[in-house]
Chains A and B, each alone.
Chain A
């Protein structure tokens, strides 16, 4: 079964059309996000289909997918919790926030997804929110000045089916939903003209 079919096939074509016709390969990054939004991670099938669409090899697509940390090539929780521990956040207590996230999410040592499938927790480099450190992103939506207590509360609310309002911008319901926005598509499925 094809990954890009029906509505998403049209979206994939629209993504390719953002770039000059002679440079279709430029669309590889947004297409990886689109594939990730459909499957919750980037799979072999996704890599293969993107390669076919862009007329490059699967290895060339995989080379890109494995280079960037925002593509997940392994099973990922419904929610991706990113905790910045770089210096500006560390100086304001980020290491404890990261530990709290890990414990509250219930991820076993060595595992990447919590047993209930809800969470992946990731230690992040600078997220560009040093003015509100410690910075946390849940599905790439920002939460400011996070303490260990707030981190635990945020995870508890997600576990209860809520999507906590971020510090800025609209709420993002899941890692898949965020990946869709990252492909340059609005959450409701309408393509925003970018060129």
Chain B
């Protein structure tokens, strides 16, 4: 359950304390599908224009301008166009899309159907990660309700326009959050990424023009249509307008999903929303946007959480998944666990990722277990450098981000492991030869 944050008017979370909006009649009573009604009275170009003017940027991690993405879709190819909703939410530490849909499933459908109108699309596919078993049931029920009331289907709100919505469940593969891997998965193939160009906007699902948008991105759209681009820009910064969902997890008093204005300082999010570091301890490290974004330290507490400021601090806003490690946590241990994730999730298509993540896990593991060698530290550094931006897709950059940022900020802790022949923070991990 989120609290609304730091003095802003809640937007995406404004109905979170009101379960009546989960079924369709309650959503309608709260003004739901008003955005779709308005959009049906607009031209497709006008819908794209207002989303462009709002400055809405993709919330899934990359921050690409949404209206511009919609504007790239060619309309004269003679092929159908598709909207694909990326609800694969698998970045470690991220769970705001899960809760957004649990609490207001129709807002996602409304935003998706408006985006379909914007690009002349008749079929929306929602790709939901398999592990979201119940959230899929919630969405399936909402889709059924939307069909029954004519918000989806062959004649959307009597306009004569068809928009079908199909729910497709994934089956446990982080890589399917990468949009081209997601499209392969949806086509019944292994979820491995495709070479770009062609970009999905030109040649995506079934080799047709396709827009792939994140859940949070699309849930902003109904309000942008009804309240306008200027209203949307009242929150956030010039280049990062609007609100953003963040998930705060790890060593904090109140883990949870919170809505903030883009540009809110991390310190306020940590202290006022998440209740500070667990048990009053000191913060050691934190990720601003999931484990794939370089970790930051206590020195970065005053970083404003917007795309530009987090980049200036040396990381990325990513999905807004803030994982907090405190002074008692071992950075090498945490880095080992994070890199193990990439080794597990590597799709195997390219060598730097498939081999690099596996070797990095082994080397990090031996440092943590007290068997590190002095030459392991330059070796790790070299691995990080050779993986970053050299793999087929961005998954491997996550591996490199963990390695590079932990070495940059915590080299002393790595050196201490090698020097002592054990983890300085975990007595129980002490090897027998040292303990005796």
Residues of A within 8 A of B (CB): 18-20, 22-23, 25-30, 32-33, 54, 56, 63-64, 67-71, 82, 85-88, 90-92, 125-133, 137, 140-142, 166, 168-170, 172, 178, 181-182, 184, 186, 192-195
Of B132, B141, B172, B334, which contacts A69 at CB under 8 A?
B172
Q: Is the CB of B133 within 8 A of A125?
A: no
Given B90, B136, B138, B172, which contacts A68 in the complex, CB threshold below 8 Å?
B172
Question: B189-224 vs A: 1/0 string, CB under 8 Å?
Answer: 111000000000000001000000000000000000
Contact flag A128-B90 (CB < 8 Å), given A193-B147, A194-B165? yes
Of the A-B pairs whose beta carbons lie under 8 Å apart in the complex, a sample of 7, sorted by A's number, is: A63-B190, A86-B92, A88-B92, A128-B89, A128-B95, A178-B133, A192-B141
A30 to B147, CA, bound (A): 21
Interface class of chain B by DSSP: mixed
Query: How distant is B161 from chain A, measured CB to nearest CB, in Å?
Result: 16
- Inter-chain contact A68/B170, CB cutoff 8 Å: yes
With CB as the reference atom, state the residue of chain A lying closest to B88: A128
Nearest neighbor of A183 in chain B, beta-carbon distance? B169
Give the number of residue pairs across the A-B interface with Cβ within 8 Å.
183
B64 within 8 Å of A by Cβ?
Answer: no
- B residues near A56, Cβ cutoff 8 Å: 188
Size category of the binding interface on chain B: 35 or more
Residue ranges of B at the interface with A (Cβ–Cβ < 8 Å): 89-95, 97-99, 102, 123, 129-134, 136-138, 140-141, 143-144, 147, 164-174, 185-191, 206, 247, 249-251, 255-257, 291, 321, 323-325, 329, 334, 337-338, 341, 344-345, 347
Asked whether A128 and B250 contact (CB < 8 A) given A169-B134, A192-B144, the answer is: no
The answer to whether A26 touches B334 (Cβ under 8 A) is: no
Residue pair A168, B95 in contact (C-beta under 8 Å): no
On whether the beta carbons of B341 and A68 are closer than 8 Å, the reply is no
* B contact residues around A22 at 8 Å (CB): 206
Q: For residue A87, which residues in chain B have a CB less than 8 angstroms away from its CB?
A: 92-93, 250, 291, 323, 334, 337-338, 341
Q: Is there an interface contact between B250 and A92, defined as CB atoms closer than 8 Å?
A: yes
Residues from chain A with Cβ under 8 Å of B143 in the complex: 192-194
